Amino acid sequence: MWSEPTVVERKPQPYVAIKVLATMEELGRVVPPLNGEVFGWLADHGAQPSGPPFWKYNVIDMERQLELEAGVAVEQSLAGDGRVLAGTLPGGSYATLVHTGPPDQLIAATGALLDWGKAQGLTWDRYDGAEGEHWGARLEFYLTDPADEPDINNWVTELAFRLAGE
């Protein structure tokens, strides 16, 4: 179940993350622990998150592997280290929708957002390269803390895909 897609404006947002390469089969096992590692890194550095955890998909090749970052927004820019990188989510126009339900339904929700964007004549901030689809900012924000809501049918995830032309 997901909301009607919409286009919203977002301001640039500093963040910290851990980058990883993973296949689709590895995704659910390899990436979630990285979000906890990022929160631990923030605590060790006396910093606080300013938003929910997210995954930022940088390069997508569903048949081979994905390059993504498990991260969280912060109030002000921080210096990363060898493991944790620091960056800025770009501002601009984003197509978004909010999905409620298990994470394994996010592929269908993503398809719905991409189909909606195509029907609207939107152009994504992406290009095709030898490694796959390169995205400027394709994000999944995990709005539900599983510690607070153990029922995965109630988990809320916001998809936000940056549009080209910014």
Residue 131: partners with Cβ closer than 8 Å, 6 or more residues away = 59, 61, 67
Average pLDDT across the chain, whole number? 94
Whether residue 5 is predicted with pLDDT greater than 60 in this model: the reply is: yes
**3-state SS, one letter per residue, for 37-51:** HHHHHHHHCCCCEEE
- 103-148 per-position pLDDT tens digit: 989 999 999 999 999 999 999 999 999 999 999 999 999 999 988 9
Give the Cβ contact number of residue 81 at 10 Å. 11
| Domains contained in the chain, CATH given | 6-162 (3.20.80.10)
pLDDT (average), residues 39-49: 94
Nearest Cα residue to 161 out of 85, 107, 68, 96: 96
Handedness of CA 45, 50, 56, 58 (dihedral sign): negative
